[in-house]
Amino acid sequence: MMSTRLLAVLVVLHLAAGESTMAVDIVAEGKASCEIRIDAAGRDSSVVSFAARELRKYASRMTGVALEMAAQPGGPAISLGLARAAGAAFDGNDAYTVVAEGNTIEIRGETERGVLHGVYALLEYWGCRWYEHEEKDQVVPERKSLSFSGRIASAPDFPIRSLQVVCWDLNRVGRIIDWMGKNRYNWIEMLGTDLYDRESVRQALRQRGIVPIICSHTLSNVFGIKDFTETRPQLFAEVKGVRGKVVPYRACSTHPEAADLVARRVVGLVRKYPEMKVIGLTPDDGSGGWCECEGCRRIQPEGRDPPTNTGISSRM
């Protein structure tokens, strides 16, 4: 009797476990088995909408079957939404989960970017890979069917995952940004505003939720110090009693006019692009040519060259 009851319990447990891990079919026998649905909280998000399009695009490339976008709730679907709207708890910025539940695959992100990263995790589950930014370095396998069971959960170890892009070929920059999104980057560092002034670049970053940073060489390239080498030599480093001759673009960090000029241009840049989180105040590369004026010598660390932007940073 006891053995019969034990067997019954084991059968029930086995069936329950089977139900919880049953695969949800997305494509089977050349036909779509579910739709893509964006939950209410994500419908106004350009990042979540882009995530849905990416899922549809790569599922079609793998199987030749186009998944439909669900117009109404209910029915088998891959559901994209924000975790906070569903009341789920996450630990870590951009965390996401991919869970098979009943006839639905739920992709939930702590942030909009997390939803997109969850979509890429599901595509990787099906064999997609993005080793480099060129097409030849990416893998999109051909598959007759797509299904998913179980659970994927991930949270980044680093809140800022950044790449500095030194490239002025717009087509290549677009491919790099695409690769960055697929590999869970969330910040991009650019030298100057030449790239970010292009709408195509701004749109590619917005779609992936990637935050722009302006860094490196900004005192000359972005804030225009070099424009005044001849007309306002007092803005530049004094070396052996002469300003602006040894390294023409090296600013005098403590000159009030230089600080005011940069401050005004920083304010203009922030007003133009309020989405920028970080704006670096950095000189051009190269050693030597640092300012030897009385103000800069006064803030010079012992045994080191004077700081190049201390006075300018303070003015900010």
Does residue 34 contact residue 24 with C-beta atoms inside 8 Å? yes
Does residue 58 contact residue 66 with C-beta atoms inside 8 Å? no
Neighbour order of strands in the sheet with 162-165:
162-165, 187-191, 211-215, 278-279
- CATH code, 22-154: 3.30.379.10
Q: Give just the sign of the alpha carbon dihedral 31, 22, 155, 85.
A: positive
Q: Supply the pLDDT for residue 307.
A: 55
Residues contacting residue 266 through CB under 8 Å, at least 6 positions apart: 223, 279, 281, 316
How many Cα atoms occupy the beta-carbon half-sphere of 122 within 13 Å?
Answer: 34
Q: Supply the pLDDT for residue 173.
A: 95
Distance CA(30)–CA(33), nearest Å, equals 9
CATH 3.30.379.10 boundaries in the chain = 22-154
Q: Supply the pLDDT for residue 81.
A: 93
- Weakly modelled stretches of the chain, pLDDT under 50: 1-20, 85
Distance CA(164)–CA(293), nearest Å, equals 33
Q: Supply the pLDDT for residue 191.
A: 81
Q: Supply the pLDDT for residue 5.
A: 42
CATH 3.20.20.80 boundaries in the chain = 162-315
Q: Supply the pLDDT for residue 248.
A: 66
The CATH architecture that domain 162-315 belongs to is: Alpha-Beta Barrel (3.20)
- Matching residue, tokens 């970053």: 205
